[in-house]
Amino acid sequence: MIRHLCLFLLIVTSAAAHSQERPPNLLVILADDLGIECLTSYGGSSYDTPNLDRLAAQGMRFTHCFSNPYCSPSRASLLTGRYPFQHGMDIVIYDEKRHANRFVDTDQPSFARQLKQAGYATAMAGKWQLAFLHQRNTINEFGFDTYQCWQIFTPEGMRTRRFHQPHYIRDGVLIADQIADRYGPDVNVEFLSEFMTKNAEADKPFLAYYTCLLPHFPWVPTPDSVDQDYVLPRNVPKGDPKYFGDMVRYMDKCVGRLLQTLEDAGVADNTVVIFLADNGTDQDLRHPYGDGQTVLGGKGSMTDRGTHVPLIVRWPGKIEAGTTCSDLIDFSDLLPTLCDVANAPLPDQSIHGRSFLPQLLGERGNPRAWVHVQNAQGRYLRTHEFILTRGNELRPVVDLWLDPAEPIRNDSLHQAAVRRALQSAFDQLDQPE
């Protein structure tokens, strides 16, 4: 009897220990060109996004998350935990010849590399744009075991497609012929769904990084669009803005399919889902927002319209459902947060980010006083109230639908104190390591 009891207690203790030791899975979803004005949960009124609305209702919505105004610098900051002046990708790369030597070097940190050290299987699908893959493919070296990505150029330098007749590379092999009749985002969702299901069945913690291609231009029909006859004109590379709404809705559908995969695999309750976007909405678009206002897209601009992006995090049983957090978050914070969640080591190199895991768990944490934004040589620090440029121009933060405020000429005592604090922060950032 005592022997059986001891055996029972040993089994229960071992199971409990395994449960405590088993880190959560991670699904990170990065939308392409999506400001907060596009989502209902952030006050938008243009599109139905039921899956993202549900995600926000089940988790925490951050109201002050900021990216850089273009995708390459933002994606590099997410990956490395560093600001553009340190990771080197301070501009968006899009020209095959002019930007051939612009890339993120493999000596930079990587959240995928850190998670692999903690025993995670790692995969990504979608858009890389931290180097041109036909010239320099370093995805594996940055810690991703497997990947499927849009290869923007052919070896001959011809630009390719991302949606219809997609030109994708999977683990070093071009698969364009195999998927020529498929819609690109569907192929990426299937790739990551198979990855998550496989690792869930093996009870192995995983990181799935979905760098979604939607709703970036060209704005063309999705498989759910009523009008399927549109052909992208050669002289209109952005397509027709009327399809942008369809693309937002299809992005939301892709999110829903990935969330359903977690449910079907039985791991939804032990998976942290993070949704965010790489920069603001394209400048050719405008959307109703809030109480009768209209927000112009601001991608590429050093304004909140170019950098204020959604951040939603769900972790059942850990994050209180339907909560919001107004702390400042910038993209360098993702790496230390993922490491904190996964109990993975931080990189040996210095990083700029700080973990916001305490805030996710309802604790105060270590909130930022400012976030850093950069495009090329233009830089600023933003607080809840003010923006200070590296050129020492201080201006107040304004509502999303307003033009940027003029620089402040005569500081009040409070403004002078803010200016001094942000000047000091800039000086510390720019100190050589």
Which CA distances in Å does 412 have to 142, 392, 419? Answer: 47, 15, 10
- In the three-class reduction of DSSP (H, G, I as helix; E, B as strand; rest coil), residue 127 is classed as coil
Over residues 11-32, mean pLDDT: 70
pLDDT at 41: 97
Q: Global pTM?
A: 0.95
**Phi, psi dihedral angles at 215 (to 5 degrees):** -100, 35
Instruction: Please say if the pLDDT value at position 254 is more than 80.
Output: yes
pLDDT score of 16 more than 60: no
- Please give the average per-residue pLDDT across 130-155, as a whole number: 97
- Give the confidence band of 5 by pLDDT, cuts at 50, 70, 90: very low
**Residues 306-315: tens digit of each pLDDT:** 999 999 999 9
CA quadruple 391, 394, 397, 403: dihedral sign: negative
Q: What is the pLDDT of residue 20?
A: 53
Collect all residues with Cβ–Cβ distance below 8 Å to 255 and sequence separation of at least 6: 29, 51, 52, 55, 275
Q: Is pLDDT at 28 greater than 80 in this prediction?
A: yes
pLDDT band at 18 (very low <50, low <70, confident <90, very high): very low
Calculate what percentage of the chain has a pLDDT beyond 90: 94
The answer, yes or no, to whether residue 374 has pLDDT greater than 80, is yes
Residue 9, pLDDT above cutoff 90: no
Write phi, then psi, for 419 (nearest 5 degrees): -60, -45
pLDDT at 4 over 80: no
pLDDT tens sequence across 43-91: 999 999 999 999 999 999 999 999 999 999 999 999 999 999 999 999 9
Architecture of domain 23-364: 3-Layer(aba) Sandwich (3.40)
Task: Look at residue 432 in the predicted model and tell me its pLDDT.
Answer: 83
Question: Predicted confidence band at 17 (pLDDT cuts at 50, 70, 90)?
Answer: very low
pLDDT band with cut points at 50, 70 and 90 for residue 203? very high
Give yes or no for a contact between 164 and 220, defined as CB atoms under 8 angstroms apart: yes
Strand order in the sheet with 173-174: 173-174, 168-170, 146-150, 121-126, 206-211, 25-31, 271-277, 308-314, 60-66, 323-330
Phi, psi of 241, rounded to the nearest 5 degrees: -60, -15
Q: How far apart are CA 79 and CA 186, in angstroms?
A: 24
Region 359-382 average pLDDT? 98
Contacts 24+ apart (CB under 8 A), 150-156: 150/126, 150/184, 150/213, 152/94, 152/96, 153/96
The secondary structure of residue 269, as a DSSP letter, is G
Mean pLDDT is lowest, of 1-15, 87-101, 140-154, 212-226, for 1-15
Instruction: Judge whether residue 2 has pLDDT over 90.
Output: no
Q: Which contacts of 178-186 are long-range, i.e. CB under 8 A and separated by 24 or more positions?
A: 183/222, 183/223, 184/150, 184/213, 185/212, 185/213, 185/214, 185/250, 185/251, 185/254, 186/223, 186/254
* Mean pLDDT of the 182-209 span: 98
| Mean pLDDT in residue range 119-148 | 98
**Cα dihedral value 261, 267, 272, 274, nearest 10:** 0
Q: What is the pLDDT of residue 11?
A: 39
What value does the mean pLDDT of the chain take? Answer: 95
pLDDT digits (tens, 9 = 90+) for 400-426: 999 999 999 999 999 999 999 999 999
Q: What is the DSSP letter of 432?
A: -
Domain map of the chain by residue range?
23-364, 383-433
β-strands 121-126, 146-150 pairing: parallel
